[in-house]
Amino acid sequence: MLDKSLPYAGVYMRRSAHAPLPEAPLPDGFRFSFFCAGDETSWARIETSVLEFDGEFAALLYFKEHFMPYADELRRRCVFIETDAGGKIATATAWWNFVEGVRGPWLHWVAVDPRYQGLGLGKAVVARAMRRMRELDGDVDFYLHTQTWSYKAIGIYMAGGFVPTDEKALYRDRKDNYRKAMRILGRLHR
């Protein structure tokens, strides 16, 4: 869940090509699945549960605008963890983004329902999404954007081979953001 008591700063992270992918098996009672029609409501519920959106309606609108136009890609790239009973409780998306006009693989919208946090599911869904990115996009640099509010997730990303990066093309007009983020994160890890 986001810790909005911290100052906000965006953080870009990169996983270099050829870095080993993490191993993170699912605990008993859970399984992976990929997006099917209707799963947008589960995505909205999960993302809202971690405070990424003010309500499920706002999350659903975002999903419909940014992901639904690419329904075929969603079925290949949007990963869920569900319980044996079929309830979806975690998600990550092996998507893409454009930097200076070039499309590259980006990990998007990682979230685990707070009722299921602490079970290793965040590590597992990140590892599965990264494997999917490598399958679909090749063994190239992967990126993600997160924020200081997600400092616990940053540890998961770092265990997966991502490191904070200050690449100017990513920060564009927010050049002081990287330094601000590193100061905030540095205070947390003392």
How many domains would you assign to the chain? 1
CA distance linking residue 36 with residue 86, whole number of Å: 13
Is the predicted pLDDT of residue 176 greater than 90, yes or no?
no
Encode pLDDT of 76-122 as tens digits.
999 999 999 999 999 999 999 998 888 999 999 999 999 999 999 99
Domain for residue 53, yes or no?
A: yes
Which CATH number belongs to the domain containing residue 112 in this structure? 3.40.630.30
Taking the model in full, what pTM does it have? 0.93
Domain for residue 39, yes or no?
A: yes
Q: Which domain holds residue 42?
A: 10-188
Q: What is the pLDDT of residue 100?
A: 86
- Please identify which residue in the block is written with the tokens 């191993």: 23
Domain for residue 4, yes or no?
A: no
Domain for residue 3, yes or no?
A: no
Beta carbons within 8 Å of 137's beta carbon, 6+ residues apart: 94, 96, 104, 105
Domain for residue 61, yes or no?
A: yes
